[in-house]
Amino acid sequence: MFNKRVKIKELLATEPTGQEVTVMGWVRTFRNNQFIALNDGSTNNNLQIVVELGMLDEATLKRITTSASLKVTGECIPSLGKGQKMEIKAKSIEILGDSDPEQYPIQPKKHSLEFLREKAHLRFRTNTFAAVFRIRHTLAFAIHKFFHEKGFVYMHTPVITASDAEGAGEMFRVTTLPMDNPPRNEDGTIDFKEDFFGRSTNLTVSGQLEGELAATAFSEIYTFGPTFRAENSNTARHLAEFWMIEPEMAFCDIEDNMNLAEEFIRYVIKYALEHNREDIEFLAQRLAEEEKSLPQDKRSELGLLEKLDFVVNNNFERITYTEAIDILLQSPAYKKKKFQYEVKWGIDMQSEHERYLVEKHFKKPVIVTNYPKDIKSFYMRLNEDGKTVAAMDILAPGIGEIVGGSQREERYDVLVEKMNAMGIPTEELWWYLDTRRFGTVPHAGFGLGFERLVLFVTGMTNIRDVIAFPRTPKSAEF
C-alpha cells in the first residue's frame, strides 16, 4: 500500500500532466472546506489538494484538521494558485490518523522557539525545524562523504571509557552500583571493584585518545559520535550531550591540520548550499525577519546566504595567540574598558574576546595558534619556545569556538614529562603512551562540535534548536 506513495518534493519537481498519484502526509491547513495544504517532511513546500464540493461528507470534512494524517489519491493538474505550479485534484481521501484541534498544541501560526522547545516531540512539523533538521542531515552526510573521498577510515570509539584523564570533573559516571548503599572500602570510599566493569567508568568527553591509536595504524581516521560533558555551562552554545567529529592524521603537522580543517568546513557548507538551498533560503528569510526587531548595531552585517558564500569563497584569517592578545590590547574596546574579563598574555580567552576578534576585527573566521601551554591539554605538542603548544582553535562569527585541535606531542620523553607536571596518571594511559614507544610519528587532529556547525549553517542562535532532543543542565525531557 505504502510503496506507491510519491514524495511531495519529488512530485513538485515534475510537470502536471493529469497523471494519477498517491501522496501521504500531514495537514498543515484546510481552507474553505476545499484546499488542503499537505506536507510530508520532504520539503517545506506544501502540496495543495483540491477537494471537490460534495466529495466528502460533513463528518469527514471535520476530521481534516491541522496535523491529521492523510492518504490522498488524485490527478496532478496545473495550479492557478500563486507560487505553485501543480495541485492534486483529489479522487479519494483517506484519513490515516485524526488530530484533535482542541488538543494539538502547534497551531498554524508563528510560535516562539522557546515554546516549541517544550514541544520538541512535535516541532519537526514546523517549517523552521523541518529546515534545520534536513540541513543537519545533509551536513552529516557531507562529513562522511568528505572523509570517505579522502580515504579516511571511520572509527567508532567507545562511549563508555575508563580513562578520566581528560575531562576531570566534567564527566558523567556510568555505574550499576546501588546509589543508596554502594559497597565501600575500609576507608569509606566507594569500592568500584564491585561495579559492572570492576572499575570506575564514565561517558566519553572525546574520542581523540583512541582516535590516535587508530591513526597510528591507518594514517588517517575520523570519528563522528556522541560525546558528553557534565559542565554546568547553561549557555546557548553548550550541550551536555553533543556530537563531535574528530579527524586524526599521522604524518601531519599543525599547518596540514589547519589546511584540512579549513577545506573540510568549506566543503560541507558548500555541499549544504548546493543540496539544501531552499531550506537555507527559508532560514535566511526567517533570520532577516527576526533581526528587524533588533537595534541596528545588533543585526548581522551579512545575511545568512551572503555569510555562507563568504566563508566558502575566502580564506580564514590565521594568527598566533600572542598576536591575538596584542590585537585585543590595542583595541578600542579594551581602551574603553568594554571587556568584562582581564586581557593579558596567558589568559584563556573569554567568549567576549573571541567574538571581538572574529566579529569586529577580522569579520571572518579566524584560526588562532600557539596557545600558552598551561591553558591547554597535556597531549599538545610543545613548541621550541618552551612556553606555547601547537594548538589551533577556529573561531566563527556568531558562534565563537567551533573547532579545537592541535599537533600531538609525539616525543615520548617530552610527553611523559608534561603528564607528570600536569598530574596526568601515566600508568592509567599506558596504552596511549605505547603509540609513542612503537613507531611514533608526527600527527595532528581536531574536534569539531557538530551542533556548532549546524548553528553556523542554519543561522539559528540557540544550540537547543539544532539537536532533536537537547540535554542541558536540569533538562532531559523526551
Asked if 447 and 246 touch (Cβ cutoff 8 Å), the reply is: yes
Minimum distance between the CB of residue 447 and ligand ATP, rounded to whole angstroms?
4
CB 40, CB 7: distance < 8 Å: yes
Query: Whole-number minimum distance, CB 348 to ligand ATP, in Å?
Result: 8
The residue to which cell 552529516 is assigned: 140
Q: How far is the C-alpha of 471 from the C-alpha of 239, rounded, in Å?
A: 6
Distance CA 148, CA 154 (A): 8
Chain contacts with ligand ATP (rule: CB under 6 A): 229, 231, 238-239, 242, 244, 401-404, 447-449, 451-452
What is the maximum span of the chain, computed from C-alpha positions, in angstroms?
85
Q: Shortest distance, CB of residue 209 to ligand ATP, whole angstroms?
A: 13
Read out DSSP for 131-171?
HHHHHHHHHHHHHHHHHHHTT-EEE---SEES--SSSTTS-
Residue closer to ligand ATP, measured from CB, 399 or 415: 399
Burial 223-260 (b: 16+ CB within 10 A, else e): bbbebbbebeeeeebbbbbbbbbbbbbbebebeebbeb
Q: What is the C-alpha separation between 367 and 271, in angstroms, rounded?
A: 22
Residue among 195, 188, 185 nearest 162 (CA)? 195
Q: What CA–CA distances, in Å, run from 390 to 207, 449, 452, 464?
A: 20, 20, 23, 32
128 vs 208 by CB, closer to ligand ATP: 208
CB-wise, 192 or 224, nearer to ligand ATP?
224
Identify which of residues 203 and 244 has a Cβ nearer to ligand ATP in the complex. Answer: 244
Compare residues 195 and 246 and give the one whose CB is closer to ligand ATP.
246
What's the residue count for the chain? 478
Q: Nearest distance from residue 288's CB to ligand ATP, in Å?
A: 26
- State the nearest-atom distance from the C-beta of 360 to ligand ATP, in Å: 19
For residue 126, the minimal CB distance to ligand ATP (Å) is 23
Residues in contact with 421: Cβ distance below 8 Å, sequence separation at least 6, in sequence order: none
Q: How far is the CB of 220 from ligand ATP (least distance, A)?
A: 19
> What are the angstrom distances between the C-alpha of 208 and each of 202, 278, 323, 390?
15, 36, 28, 16
Residue 87 or 393 with smaller CB distance to ligand ATP: 393
Nearer to ligand ATP, 294 or 476 (CB): 476
Ramachandran quadrant class, 370 (left: phi over 0; alpha: psi -120 to 50; beta: rest): left
CA distance 289 to 267: 28
CB nearer to ligand ATP: give 16 or 167. Answer: 167
Least distance between ligand ATP and beta carbon 243 (Å): 8
Q: Which is nearer to ligand ATP, 234 or 426 (CB)?
A: 234
Q: One-letter amino acid identity for 267?
A: Y
CA distance 235 to 240: 11
Q: Cβ 166 to ligand ATP, closest distance in Å? A: 8
